[in-house]
Copies of this chain bind each other. A is one copy, B any other.
Amino acid sequence: MTVKIGILGYGNLGRGIECAVKQNSDMELKAVFTRRPPESLKILTDNVPVYHIDDILNHKDEIDVLILCGGSATDLPAQTPEYAKYFNVVDSFDTHAKIPEHFENVNNSAKEGGKIAVISCGWDPGMFSLNRLYASAILPEGQDYTFWGKGVSQGHSDAIRRIDGVLDAKQYTIPKEDALEAVRSGANPTLTARQKHLRECFVVAEDGADKERIENEIKTMPNYFADYDTVVHFITMEELKKNHSAIAHGGFVIRSGKTGIENQNTHIIEYSLKLDSNPEFTASVIVAYARAAYKMYKEGSVGCKTVFDIPPAYLSYKSSEELRKEML
């Protein structure tokens, strides 16, 4: 079996998909679709065509799974329901609060088209969600903790950039070590936002801007920073570009639970990720689920799925016999 992959949207995530497909010998990149002039795009793979998004339906029979690499704010809410009518699709929609609505829209389209759509694929939502589900099903009397970082939060960086006098900024979310240790001890602590994460900001200010005002505006910004310990550093544009272009990220999902006739025994389940490249790891998860999507489609399944619905064996290129023999 070879799964023919199409990529829609060629940014960091799209390039990550391209790289991940190369690592899987049962997959083949067939085409990249873009809103830009196709001839302006230089992709990493030889002999793979780049088409304008307006031509995408002309290629629907060449693609087994179309991977949607747009953003969750405006691209995916429109694109996933639209293209699920014509393609098996996978997206990484990550606006947690809007997942139920997105699911309904995509499910209707995929059923209409007789296709499989996998939404909200990546690491959070995605692998972190899976670990929350498995751990809570195993230890019903317990508590879940998710920590993110160390890594750049795009949303928080954007919020700083909107402040008057700020040219550019990066914000790192950093889990607090003493909170992690308290959770790992099995103490089931109640932790405030401030106790769980530190927010560290690197800010490039305009010449002559009032840095004290900027720092104060950051630290008191509701929702984003007011409830956290926030550290602000002013740096030059050169320093920002040189030292803060990394796309590393990661985090921890920990469940602490009790068992025994008197709940006398404590168990800690911990899942952690340490990622050099957030978009490349996300892409690697998506590509494994693209394989699963195609297997389900070949079996006659239709509709919208999430990581919760997909048997783990479907992610692997190995047969069930091989998996039982080698990995169980």
Contacts and interface: CB of A to CB of B under 8 A. Distances in A.
Contact of A311 (B264, B311, B316): B311
Nearest to A283: B259
B259 A23 contact: yes
A324 B308 contact: yes
A24 interface: yes
A266 interface: yes
Interface stretch (A33-41, A50-58, A96-104): A96-104
Given A259-B277, A267-B276, A277-B265, A136 B327 contact: yes
Interface in A32-72: 44
A244 B18 CA distance: 53
A272 interface: yes
Interface string A132-156: 1110111111000000000000000
Contact of A259 (B139, B267, B284): B284
A274 interface: yes
A214 interface: no
Interface residues of A, number: 71
Interface string A258-287: 011100111111111111110011011100
Given A96-B328, A259-B16, A311-B311, A274 B280 contact: no
Contact of A312 (B125, B134, B257, B316): B134
28 contacts: A19-B259, A19-B261, A24-B140, A96-B328, A99-B325, A100-B321, A130-B134, A132-B327, A137-B288, A137-B312, A138-B315, A259-B280, A259-B283, A259-B284, A267-B273, A267-B276, A267-B277, A267-B280, A268-B275, A270-B271, A271-B271, A272-B272, A306-B328, A307-B312, A308-B311, A308-B320, A309-B312, A312-B312
Given A259-B283, A307-B328, 9 more contacts: A44-B261, A133-B312, A138-B284, A260-B280, A264-B276, A266-B276, A269-B272, A270-B274, A309-B320
